Amino acid sequence: MDSSLAVWLVVAISIAAANLPFLTERVFGLVPLKTSTAGDGTSSKRTKSLPLRLLELIVLYFVVGFLARMLESRIGAAFAQNWEFYAITGCLFLVLAFPGFVLRYLRKRRA
């Protein structure tokens, strides 16, 4: 795989993974939440809480990082990273998640 293609692949996967917790009510886009049943027998759809979305975001950050590390080692020698690398990429992942956060929490909903 060409190194340029690998970089763009990691960027595209990062954008998708950073926005996934905010765009779906399923955990990691796969596992549906259990529906809660009220006392009168009606069931209501559960929504993910913000802490669950943030935990999912952190897990997806490490999944994308592992994928990027594997692609880097496949192309050539993988470089050692210090804490600065993880601080910068973590902040970048949060910036990439901003559009999904805006759509979920800051957009006005029509009645």
| Structural contact between residues 6 and 75, judged by C-beta atoms closer than 8 angstroms | yes
Residue 85, in any domain of the structure: yes
Residue 111, in any domain of the structure: no
* Token representation of residue 82: 């210090």
* Token representation of residue 70: 């594997």
Total domains present in the chain: 1
Which residues constitute the domain of residue 44? 3-106
Q: What is the mean pLDDT of residues 95-105?
A: 93
Instruction: State the Cα–Cα distance between residues 99 and 93, nearest whole angstrom.
Output: 12
The three-state secondary structure class of 37 is strand
Is the pLDDT assigned to residue 57 strictly greater than 90? yes
What's the pLDDT at 78?
78
Residue 34, in any domain of the structure: yes
Place of tokens 């009168």: 40
pLDDT in tens, 2-42: 788 888 999 999 999 999 999 888 888 787 777 766 556 66
Prediction pTM value? 0.82
